[in-house]
């Protein structure tokens, strides 16, 4: 659980700028000693700055979304291309906010309608002449440039989609899909209720991780597109759960 708590601490510090050890211990219902260890770990990675009695978020720090763009970049590129191949001409699709789903948007070349709550994804798709983009409403979450909140969920309520391309922070074979933020969790659940087919896209570094908010179990997922580091045993486990696994081939050169 510590990795999930540490990421949530990082989110909270970016939102608030400064928090004390006491505030964080009360927020997570753990000891102050545990929080100090979390802050020490985050500071050693350069994500926060410790100070007496608490921590601050560095003003020059890039938003988490920008930091994550470089993580498993090659894997995400090929996952995005393989996932985009699943889109048929004329379909209506939902693309969830995330860096792997952003790779899907970059690879998309079919005429279709896209519903998204992601500002970066809308920016990419807005340049593609055959793609009609529908943005949800909502409040911008600075960490991820995602639109969240009641207005986002209300925007999705009247929409229907053939496919949903879904992102997750944690992908666990036993405990399902999770995120570190309740607002994004609620939007993902709303998206799940509006699509006929759900396609999870995530690189293998997410496998085994569990964060605070589980938003779906495997019975909600039809297809999982990931990279070749996803084990044969794990693929078999998901097949038994009724999930089709597609492995994106890693190639030495971009097409």
pLDDT tens digits along 205-244: 899 999 888 999 999 999 999 999 999 999 999 999 999 9
> Is the pTM higher than 0.85?
no
How high does pLDDT run on average in the chain? 88
- Domains along the chain with CATH numbers: 2-61 (1.10.10.10), 67-248 (3.40.50.1360)
pLDDT in tens, 121-142: 998 898 888 999 999 999 988 7
* Residue 205 CB neighbours (<10 A): 15
Position 66 scores a pLDDT of: 46
Instruction: Identify the H or E element spanning 199.
Output: strand 195-201
Q: What percent of the chain has pLDDT over 70?
A: 89
Give the per-residue pLDDT at 2.
Answer: 62
pLDDT attached to residue 94: 98
**d(C-alpha 21, C-alpha 27), whole Å:** 10
Residue 196, phi-psi category: left (phi > 0), alpha (psi -120 to 50), beta (remainder)? alpha
pLDDT at 6: 82
Q: In terms of DSSP bridges, do strands 112-116 and 131-135 run parallel, antiparallel, or are they unpaired?
A: parallel
């Amino acid at each position: 659980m510590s990795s999930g708590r540490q990421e949530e601490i990082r989110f909270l510090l970016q939102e608030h700028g400064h928090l004390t050890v006491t505030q964080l211990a009360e927020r997570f219902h753990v000891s102050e000693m545990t929080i100090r260890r979390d802050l020490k770990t985050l500071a050693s990675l350069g994500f926060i700055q410790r100070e007496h009695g608490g921590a601050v978020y560095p003003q020059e720090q890039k938003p988490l979304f920008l930091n994550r763009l470089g993580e498993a970049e090659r894997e995400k590129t090929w996952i995005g291309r393989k996932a985009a191949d699943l889109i048929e001409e004329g379909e209506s699709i939902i693309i969830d906010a995330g860096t792997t789903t952003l790779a899907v948007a970059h690879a998309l070349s079919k005429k279709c309608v896209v519903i998204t709550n992601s500002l970066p994804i809308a920016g990419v798709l807005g340049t593609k002449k055959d793609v009609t983009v529908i943005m949800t409403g909502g409040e911008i979450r600075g960490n991820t440039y995602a639109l969240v909140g009641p207005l986002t969920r209300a925007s999705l309520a009247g929409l229907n989609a053939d496919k949903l391309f879904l992102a997750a922070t944690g992908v666990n074979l036993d405990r399902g899909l999770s995120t570190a933020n309740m607002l994004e969790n609620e939007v993902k659940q709303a998206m799940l209720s509006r699509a006929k087919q759900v396609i999870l896209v995530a690189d293998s570094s997410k496998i085994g991780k569990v964060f605070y908010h589980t938003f779906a179990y495997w019975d909600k997922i039809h297809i999982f597109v990931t990279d070749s580091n996803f084990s044969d045993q794990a693929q078999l486990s998901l097949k038994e759960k009724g999930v089709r696994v597609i492995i994106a081939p890693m190639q030495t050169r971009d097409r």
